[in-house]
């Protein structure tokens, strides 16, 4: 069967859905997603979106933090573009119905702004510790109101369709162009052809190539693989970010303990109760993710222990339950009361800093093919992504 639209979006996270909403004003949009429409890395994001909203903060501070965290390999023009565009895009999410947590600490923005590793200021807007779920909920509701958008759940994109493949008889066809994708319908056990004027890869990363990861099962890197097979330029695939604090428990498959826990005073400790991060970085437990993850790995190799501990108990029961309801409840199900007990944590594969090489507009080196979000490599992240810059990049 063949499906034709103006825009074909592969993926249903924040990048794919926010693009689809905008594009639906210009033409018809088909969204293909391999499982349920809410199953994406976005849905598992706890921390929030890094964005300059407070008068005590500045674009220059956010830019500097991003460049430092990226170990000198960020593209500064991209960083400036994304950071400066951020406030308008994030406030647009609020207008679309995302219920961000309001201010408790006197932020001039009116929103509660958290702080995470590598940030010099509080600038992470969030919906308690369930930001991803709240964004997915609001975007799906908004998508449902757009008559020009159709979602195909349980459909897996197999390969991109190139113009040169269709016109084999015309050797050296130029310029190369992407015409659509072959998509496997899981329920019907059939392969369909999806054609469109513009194809948008928003398939996320590939964390599931690692045994220990914070990513859901759907994060298998198929978008990058399809692009590679189609001759699309790929960059920086060696830069896999490991999140320092994944819950260590035999029954916990891939549960992230948000960096916001450390932003609110959580301290990383060894099994003997001693803090150790100050020996590795002046920002201590709030150092950039690569520094913290490597420090934990080093300490575990020295001690032979299976995990380290994250202690937030000193913040008190009421604060913890209100600020981190999702983490509190999930840990409780594993028999850990984070209001009175330290959390066992280990580093886990978390985010792909590389991907499909694109410009500021998401355009790849093949006409008609764009890439947005984690599947792309815009130059924003360099060798290591600054905390909560991922959702920012996706929505910008």
Residues serving a catalytic function are 289
Kind plus residue range of the DSSP H or E element containing 322: helix 317-323
User: Is residue 85 exposed (0-12), middle (13-18) or buried (19+ Cβ within 10 Å)?
Assistant: middle
Distances (CA, A) of 170 to 159, 166, 179, 369, 374: 21, 9, 16, 21, 35
**Contact (CB, 8 A) for 220 and 208:** yes
Q: Which residues pair with 161 in a beta bridge?
A: 180
Sign of CA dihedral 318, 330, 98, 371: positive
Whole-angstrom Cα distance, residue 286 to residue 110?
24
Q: Which residues pair with 348 in a beta bridge?
A: 243
Mode of pairing for the β-strands spanning 178-185 and 155-162 = antiparallel
User: Is residue 102 exposed (0-12), middle (13-18) or buried (19+ Cβ within 10 Å)?
Assistant: exposed
């Amino acid at each position: 069967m063949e499906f034709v639209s103006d825009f074909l979006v592969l993926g249903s996270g924040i990048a794919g859905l926010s693009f689809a909403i905008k594009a639906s004003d210009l033409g018809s949009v088909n969204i293909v997603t391999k499982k349920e429409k809410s199953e994406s890395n976005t849905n598992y994001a706890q921390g929030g979106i890094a964005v300059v909203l407070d008068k005590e903060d500045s674009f220059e501070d956010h830019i500097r933090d991003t460049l430092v965290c990226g170990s000198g390999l960020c593209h500064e023009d991209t960083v400036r573009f994304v950071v400066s565009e951020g406030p308008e895009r994030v406030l647009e999410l609020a207008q679309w119905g995302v219920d961000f947590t309001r201010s408790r600490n006197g932020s001039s923005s009116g929103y509660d702004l958290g702080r995470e590793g590598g940030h010099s200021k509080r600038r992470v807007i969030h919906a308690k510790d369930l930001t991803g779920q709240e964004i997915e909920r609001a975007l799906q509701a908004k998508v449902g109101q757009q008559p020009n958008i159709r979602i195909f759940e349980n459909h897996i994109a197999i390969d991109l369709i190139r113009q040169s493949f269709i016109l084999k008889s015309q050797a050296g066809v130029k310029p190369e162009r992407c015409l659509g994708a072959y998509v496997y319908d899981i329920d019907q056990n059939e392969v369909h052809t999806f054609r469109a004027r513009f194809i948008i890869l928003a398939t996320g990363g590939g964390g599931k190539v690692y045994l220990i990861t914070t990513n859901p099962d759907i994060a298998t890197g198929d978008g990058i693989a399809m692009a590679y097979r189609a001759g699309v330029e790929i960059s920086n695939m060696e830069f896999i970010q490991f999140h320092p604090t994944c819950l260590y428990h035999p029954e916990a498959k891939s549960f992230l303990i948000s960096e916001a826990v450390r932003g609110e005073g959580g301290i990383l400790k060894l099994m003997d109760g001693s803090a150790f991060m100050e020996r590795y970085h002046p920002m201590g437990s709030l150092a950039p993710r690569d520094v913290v993850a490597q420090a934990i790995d080093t300490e575990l190799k020295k001690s032979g222990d299976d995990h380290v501990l994250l202690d937030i108990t000193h913040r008190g029961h009421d604060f913890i339950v209100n600020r981190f309801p999702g983490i509190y409840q999930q840990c409780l199900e594993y028999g850990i009361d984070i209001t009175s007990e330290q959390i066992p944590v280990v580093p886990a594969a978390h985010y792909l800093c590389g991907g499909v090489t694109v410009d500021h507009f998401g355009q790849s080196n093949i006409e008609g093919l764009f890439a947005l979000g984690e599947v792309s490599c815009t130059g924003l992240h360099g060798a290591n992504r600054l905390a909560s810059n991922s959702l920012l990049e996706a929505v910008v």
